[in-house]
Amino acid sequence: MNTAPVETRASTQAGASRPTVHVVDDEATVRTALCRLLASEGGFSIHAHDCADSLLQALGDDPSPGCILLDIGLPGLDGLAVQRMLADSAWAKPIIFLTGCADVPMCASAMRAGAVDFLTKPVDADILFDAVSRAIARDMTSRSARAEQESTQSRLDSLTPREREVLTHVMAGRLNKQIAADLGTAEKTVKVHRARGMEKMRVRSVAELVRMVERARFAGALG
C-alpha cells in the first residue's frame, strides 16, 4: 500500500484548502506520469495511490474538494467496486475512470453510476485537464449545495412545532385569518408564530422562504 502527496505550486501555497486530485493506479510508471502531468498544470494538490485501500484511507482524512482519477482495472478491489463503495459515503468525490482499453459496457456502467468521464490511457493532456476541471467544479457545486441544505435544515430544526405548522400554511398561500381558522386559534397568535418562524429562518418574505426551502429540497420537512 502506498500513498504519496505530490507537491504542486498550489499545494505548497495553500495546502489542504486547495482542491485535491487523488491519482490511483497500480502501475508506478503510469501513476508517476499522471502526477507529473497534473503537477505541470498546478492549481491543486495531488496524492498518488497504488491501490484502493490506500485511497479509501486517505479520503477519510481529506476534507478538501477535489476528484479521483481512478484506474478501473485495479487488482483486488477494482474501480467500479470503489465507485459503489463511495457512492453514499461522506468521503465521496467525483470519479474520472482510466482504462488501458476501451470497454463500452463498462464505460456505460461507470457513467450511469455518476462518473465524470471515462478516459483511455495514454491520456491526452488537454482532455485530462478538462475532465479534472469539470470534476472539481462538480464537487464544489455539490459541497455548496450540501452546505446550503445543512444550513436550511438547522434553521428548520430551530422552529417549534407550531411555528413549523404555521409556516407550512404560509407557504401554501394561506392568509393569517385562514390559518387561524384551520388551527382553531386567534389570528394574533398566528401572526406571532409567523413572525418568529420567519425570523428563525432568516427570511423577509414568503417568496424568499419558499425559494430557500425548495432550493435546499426540504419542502417536505415543513410538512
Residue 13: what pLDDT?
35
Residue 219: what pLDDT?
43
CATH number of 158-222, picked from 1.10.3720.10, 3.40.50.1820, 1.10.10.10, 3.20.20.60: 1.10.10.10
Q: Where would I find the H helices in the chain?
A: 9-14, 28-41, 52-59, 79-86, 104-112, 125-157, 161-171, 176-183, 187-201, 206-215
**Angle 27-31-36 (CA atoms, 0-180°, nearest 5)?**
150
> What is the side-by-side order of every strand in the sheet holding 117-120?
3-6, 45-49, 20-24, 66-71, 95-99, 117-120
* pLDDT tens, position by position, 28-70: 999 999 999 999 988 889 999 999 999 999 998 888 999 999 9
The pairing of beta strand 66-71 with beta strand 117-120:
unpaired
User: Within 10 Å of residue 108's Cβ, how many Cβ atoms?
Assistant: 11
Distance, CA of 203 to CA of 197 (rounded, Å): 9
Residue 204: partners with Cβ closer than 8 Å, 6 or more residues away: 198
Q: Are 66 and 131 in contact (CB under 8 A)?
A: no
Distance, CA of 73 to CA of 102 (rounded, Å): 12
Cell of 70: 481512478
Burial 186-211 (b: 16+ CB within 10 A, else e): eeeebeebbebbbebbebeeeeebbe
Residue 10: what pLDDT?
34
Which amino acid belongs to residue 193?
H
What is the pLDDT tens value at each position of the chain, 223 positions in all?
A: 555 554 333 333 334 468 999 999 999 999 999 999 999 988 889 999 999 999 999 998 888 999 999 998 888 888 888 888 888 787 789 999 998 876 667 777 777 777 899 898 889 999 999 999 999 999 999 888 888 888 998 999 999 999 999 999 999 999 999 999 999 999 999 999 999 999 999 999 999 999 988 877 644 444 4
**What is the residue extent of each domain of the chain?**
3-148, 158-222
CATH architecture of 3-148: 3-Layer(aba) Sandwich (3.40)
